[in-house]
Every structure is written in structure tokens, then in C-alpha cells.
């Protein structure tokens, strides 16, 4: 039943989802929410999607969210839920999971899949993972390059180079480099070349290959992670964590591994031809929800929303109250028990400014 018996999925469950406030909160971040009306949270659908593909799934999250994650994933074995004492960015989170899996299983392929993305779990996703596993087994750090649906300025891009020539992964190519989020003109130029895809932050790599890169590039972080991993399944875990974890370097895995290794020619890219969305803001969320006959998009009970002369409103209704929208184009209304946000799709990226203003006003209770 398992497609790849040597694959373990790592699911980093972190990230505040600030641009989805007031739905997403520090205490109940984005990945814990059902943002598509499917009845399952982003975390749950991520695990649902990965479970059939590999030998196991390991979730890494902050101690604050352990109980909520456990409640949402009753099928997850306790030892496959790794709790971080404090946030130390993605290299520490993914590196910890890889090091623990290396202790337990030797040298499996590990794949890192964020808990807060929406992905169509169809054949396209399975095929990308399949070719990615093949390329990872061959020693590459493999990223899945998402087929861009437009010249987005919200994502970084990965550029494809020459073919790796792997018979079982015919579409795998050398990653010729990563870019930061471009401006619109640059993004359009990227797409015109046919060589660029979105970097979704999905990586597949053999555990020992990843740890080898870390040993070479960030030896202190590597030593710390190895020490913690060796103690993880022993009574010494808490002591070692308390001593070592706070000193680990905070660095994103793109900067720590993907970019420097790509510069050496060690990163591969396999094409991901499946629907993907990072649900980065409410404009993105609106695109994921089905539109009713009246072009009203609702997250929550449909009968909680009344739209009159309103064009394309998005309403997230989670307070039990009625939300009436009258005559506003592209309105976004997010109704929660203690806060309501009113804006438009055009201002979706600006929601971070609201959160910043609340923090400045000392309203931590609402964050």
C-alpha cells in the first residue's frame, strides 16, 4: 500500500499565517484551520495526502501547539510528533526530524512538506514525489518546482537546468538556482523562458545527505542536532534539549542548504504539475473557495451570510453571527468571536499591517 517504503515525510507545522488574521492566531495558527471548507484542517489534509506515499509521517511543531496537533491527528503515533521547545526556524525543525529519523532508520529519504499549503493530492502530486524520491536516492537535494499559473510576485522561483539523466526520473533536472520573490516584470520574464517554476519549499533528500550538507555548511548546528537526536528516544531527551536547543542557529533551510548546495550543482528540481496554493492571504483564500451562483464565497455556514448588491464578497463566518454585505465590490469580511476584519481583496497583503498595529497597541490578546 505504501508507494515508497524508504520515504518518511516531515511536516513542519509552524508559521503564524499573519495575513490571515483574525482567523489565524498565535494560539491557533493557519495550519490548524480548515480553510477550504473540506471539513479537514490544512495540517490534516497535509498528513492525509502524505500518509499513502511513504513509510511514515513525522510532525514537528512548537510545544504550544502539541495538544491541538494531537487532537487533530489521533492516528499519529506519539513518537512521530516532535515538539520544539522554542522556534528556531526551518533548518532546526527539519534538521531535527531528519536527524531523529536517521537515528531510527539509518538513511531513509525524507521529504519536507509544510503543514499550511493546499495541494491537489492527485496523480500529479504522486508522480512529482515519485521522481523526487528517485532523484533523492541518487544523492541530490530535490525540490519540487510548481507549475506557475501566472507571474506571481508572492513566491520565489527555481530555475531548471540540464536533465539529470535518471531513467526512472526523466523529468528531474539540475536546479540552476533559486530567486527571491521578483517584481512583476521580472516574474513575467521568468515565465517567458519556460525554465522557471515556483519554489514551494518542498524538499526531498536522503537523511544522511542532508545531515552531511549541514555538517559541512553549519557544523555547530549539525553537532547540536545530532546530539539532540541521539538523546531523543532516551530518558535524556529533556536535559539535552534544554541545554542544546536554545543555542541552535536560526536560519531558513533555503538559505542554509538549498541555495549553497544549488550553487555547487547538488540540487535537483522535479516538475510539480498539480494545483498548489500557500493560502498566503485572503485573496488567495477566496480563490480556493467555491463560488455560489451569486459569486459569494463563504468559509463557514452559507446561511450565515447575506449579500445584497455585493460583487464577489469573501466572508469567513466563524462567530455564529449573521454577516450582511451590502454593495461593496471584492469585500473581505472575517468574523470571529472576538474580532472582525473588514477589507477588500486588493488589501489582502496589508493585513499584516493590522496585526502590527494591534501589537503596537498592546492588544496581544487578539494576536
Cβ-based nearer residue to a second copy, 250 or 359:
359
For a second copy, the closer of residues 122 and 350 by Cβ is: 350
Instruction: Restricting to residues 325-344, name those near a second copy by CB under 8 A.
Output: 325-328, 331, 333, 335-344
Choose between 250 and 363: whose C-beta lies nearer to a second copy.
363
* 85 is a contact residue toward a second copy (CB under 8 A): no
CB 48 within 8 A of CB 59: no
Contact 301, 317 (CB under 8 A): yes
Rg over alpha carbons for the chain, rounded to the nearest Å, is 21
CB of 175 to a second copy, least distance (A): 37
DSSP category for residue 153: S
Sign of the C-alpha dihedral computed for residues 114, 115, 116 and 117 taken in this order = positive
Least spacing, CB of residue 261 vs a second copy, in Å: 40
Instruction: Select the residue interacting with a second copy from 220, 252, 357, 359 (CB under 8 A).
Output: 357
Closest CB to a second copy among 273 and 335?
Answer: 335
Any residues with CB less than 8 A from the CB of 216 and at least 6 apart, and which? none
Q: By CB under 8 A, which span of 55-63, 106-114, 181-189, 301-309 interacts with a second copy?
A: 301-309
CB of residue 346 to a second copy, shortest distance in Å: 7
Report the nearest approach of a second copy to the CB of residue 352 (Å). Answer: 10
Q: Is 321 near a second copy (CB under 8 A)?
A: yes
Q: Of the candidates 337, 347, 340, 346, which has an alpha carbon nearest to the alpha carbon of residue 325?
A: 340
- How many Cβ atoms sit within 10 Å of the Cβ of residue 357? 10
SS3 283: helix
d(CA 325, CA 336): 16
Residues 6 or more apart whose Cβ sits within 8 Å of residue 281: 19, 20, 348, 349, 351
Which of 83, 148, 230, 358 binds a second copy (CB under 8 A)? It is 358
**Contact flag: residue 299 with a second copy (CB under 8 A):** no
Residues that bind a second copy (CB under 8 A): 22, 303, 306, 308-309, 321-328, 331, 333, 335-344, 346-347, 350-351, 353-354, 357-358, 361, 363, 366
Amino acid at each position: 500500500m505504501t508507494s515508497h517504503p524508504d520515504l518518511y515525510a516531515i511536516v513542519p507545522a509552524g508559521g503564524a499565517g499573519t495575513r490571515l488574521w483574525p482567523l489565524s492566531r498565535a494560539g491557533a495558527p493557519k495550519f490548524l484551520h480548515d480553510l477550504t471548507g473540506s471539513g479537514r484542517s490544512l495540517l490534516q489534509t497535509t498528513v492525509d495526502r502524505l500518509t499513502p506515499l511513504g513509510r511514515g509521517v513525522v510532525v514537528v511543531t512548537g510545544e504550544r501547539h502539541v495538544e491541538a496537533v494531537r487532537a487533530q491527528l489521533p492516528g499519529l503515533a506519539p513518537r512521530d510528533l516532535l515538539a520544539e521547545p522554542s522556534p528556531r526556524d526551518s533548518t532546526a525543525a527539519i534538521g531535527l526530524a531528519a536527524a531523529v529519523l536517521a537515528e531510527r532508520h539509518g538513511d531513509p529519504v525524507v521529504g519536507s512538506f509544510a503543514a499550511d499549503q493546499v495541494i491537489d493530492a492527485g496523480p500529479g502530486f504522486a508522480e512529482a514525489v515519485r521522481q523526487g524520491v528517485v532523484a533523492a536516492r541518487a544523492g541530490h537535494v530535490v525540490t519540487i518546482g510548481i507549475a506557475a499559473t501566472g507571474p506571481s510576485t508572492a513566491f520565489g522561483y527555481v530555475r531548471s537546468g540540464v536533465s539529470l539523466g535518471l531513467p526512472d526520473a526523466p523529468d528531474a533536472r539540475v536546479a540552476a538556482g533559486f530567486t527571491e520573490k521578483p517584481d512583476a516584470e521580472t516574474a513575467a520574464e521568468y515565465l517567458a523562458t519556460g525554465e522557471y517554476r515556483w519554489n514551494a519549499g518542498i524538499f526531498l533528500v536522503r537523511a544522511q545527505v542532508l545531515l552531511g550538507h549541514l555538517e559541512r555548511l553549519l557544523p555547530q548546528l549539525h553537532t547540536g542536532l545530532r546530539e539532540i537526536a541521539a538523546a531523543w528516544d532516551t530518558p535524556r531527551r529533556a536535559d539535552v534539549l534544554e541545554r542544546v536547543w536554545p543555542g541552535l542557529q536560526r536560519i531558513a533551510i533555503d538559505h542554509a542548504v538549498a541555495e549553497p548546495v544549488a550553487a555547487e550543482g547538488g540540487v535537483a528540481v522535479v516538475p510539480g504539475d498539480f494545483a498548489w496554493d500557500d493560502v498566503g492571504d485572503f485573496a488567495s483564500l477566496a480563490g480556493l473557495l467555491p463560488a455560489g451562483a451569486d459569486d459569494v464565497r463563504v468559509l463557514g455556514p452559507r446561511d450565515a451570510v447575506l449579500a445584497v448588491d455585493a460583487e464577489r464578497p469573501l466572508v469567513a463566518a466563524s462567530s455564529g453571527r449573521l454577516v450582511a454585505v451590502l454593495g461593496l465590490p471584492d469585500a473581505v469580511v472575517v468574523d470571529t468571536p472576538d474580532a472582525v476584519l473588514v477589507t477588500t481583496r486588493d488589501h489582502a497583503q496589508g493585513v499584516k499591517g493590522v496585526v502590527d498595529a494591534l501589537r503596537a497597541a498592546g492588544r496581544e490578546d487578539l494576536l
